[in-house]
Amino acid sequence: MQTSSIVRSLVLAVALSSSVGACQRFEPPYAPGDPPEVEALLTAAAPPLRSIQIPRAKVRQGAGPAATLMIVGQAPARFSGTIQVSGNELVTLAVNERSYGLRWIGGRDGAEALAPGYYEGPPSRCAVETLLGVDLEPEALVDLVLGGAPLIDGPHEILDRKWDRKLGRERLRIANDVHEQELRFAWEAGAWRFAGASLYLRTAEGAVWLWTISHESLHEVGGELLPAKTEIRQPKPNGRGEQVLHVSYQKQIPNPPLGGELSSDPPPDTGEGSGGDELPANAGDSFDDDWGDDEGWEDGADAGAGDEAGDDATAPAPAETIPAQFIGKSTGLTPRGDLCAGRY
């Protein structure tokens, strides 16, 4: 009888503990009636870095197998990314303000069938979708990997703002003539940090959901807080359900020396926020370890990082040199023209 009573007490304690956890509420980090200024939140949505190198990441669409993603990004809209499986290149995309260059080596499950070759044309979100399977403008993708929010153009109308006690996030909903956007901010290390956003298209019938981005496991990299993981959700093209892209960053190097050769090892910490951060192998990573023995990415380009204007203030400023990391390389591939012609 006594044993049975003890068992019942333990079961009741576990049930109560689960109930308390399910009903957990987070109080706001500010006094009642004293929320943060909207401008302070919008400022926090800006990427904390100007450029980044991610020599190792895992990427997976839905429940499919994981692959290796290597990416370099520079604000506002320059990036290059490579996807590999077991050390073999599948696709590489380089985008700058003038063009994109896409190396297509092999197909992926569910991807549009493409002839192997080199595709090029004006920068477009079509090229981004070919690389990652998500419909994002190049600038939005760069903002994302730099740890910021792909913010809609102003002027902004403030639709709503509130503290979400369930998630422990400050939520701000803004709009312009075309879009509505909900931004989510976390209070971390004594400051507001961007933690996620959802974008909606404004129509006569109401707001239509386009995508949701969530930054998770914020950690310090070079003196800034960056996400260790990012999730991107979008409606499926057929309108039935949603597709999810998971990205887990294994190493992040802030402000790399663009233009020359990039090492997959971070530079020495100079005390100016240039040090990189490598996560432990099990740091919140739920991916299966099925992505091969890839060693990361080193770009052997040796072009200069850019020109500086001369002392003559009356002389026209020279066109900025685009670092070689963001220029496509067609070596060894058949030219295929513009994959995105007539698309978006």
Q: What is the pLDDT of residues 174-197, one digit of tens each?
A: 999 999 999 999 999 899 999 999
Phi, psi of 243 (to 5 degrees): -110, 145
DSSP string over 153-210: PSS-EEEEEEEETTTTEEEEEEE-SSEEEEEEEEEETTEEEEEEEEEEEEETTEEEEE
Q: What is the pLDDT of residues 40-79, one digit of tens each?
A: 999 999 999 999 999 999 999 887 788 999 999 999 999 9
Residue 298 pLDDT level (bands cut at 50, 70, 90): very low
Question: Exposed (0-12), middle (13-18) or buried (19+): which is 280, by Cβ within 10 Å?
Answer: exposed
Please give the distance of CA 5 from its chain centroid, rounded to a whole number: 53
Q: Which pLDDT value is given to residue 163?
A: 96
Q: Which pLDDT value is given to residue 2?
A: 52
Q: Which pLDDT value is given to residue 106?
A: 75
Q: Which pLDDT value is given to residue 276?
A: 56
Q: What is the pLDDT of residues 213-258, one digit of tens each?
A: 999 999 999 889 999 999 999 998 877 889 999 999 999 999 999 8
Is this structure's pTM higher than 0.85? no
The mean pLDDT value for 296-318 works out to: 41
Q: Are 11 and 19 spatial neighbours (Cβ–Cβ below 8 Å)? A: no
Mention every residue, 6+ apart, whose C-beta is less than 8 A from residue 60. Answer: 66, 67, 245, 246, 287
3-state secondary structure of 94: strand
What integer best gives the mean pLDDT of the chain?
Answer: 80
Distances (CA, A) of 253 to 67, 88, 160: 20, 23, 36
Q: Which amino acid is at 313?
A: A
pLDDT above 90 covers what percent of the chain? 61
Q: What is the DSSP letter of 97?
A: S
pLDDT at residue 273 above 50? no
Q: Which domains does the chain have, with CATH numbers?
A: 36-256+276-299+326-337 (2.50.20.10)
pLDDT at residue 336 above 80? yes
Q: Distance (Å, rounded) from C-alpha 103 to C-alpha 131?
A: 10
Q: Could you tell me which residues are beta bridge partners of residue 212?
A: 198, 233
Please give the distance of CA 186 from its chain centroid, rounded to a whole number: 17
Greater confidence, 112 or 88? Answer: 88
Range 97-100, long-range pairs (CB < 8 A, 24+ positions): 97/123, 97/322, 98/122, 98/123, 98/322, 99/123, 99/328, 100/124, 100/127, 100/138, 100/328, 100/340
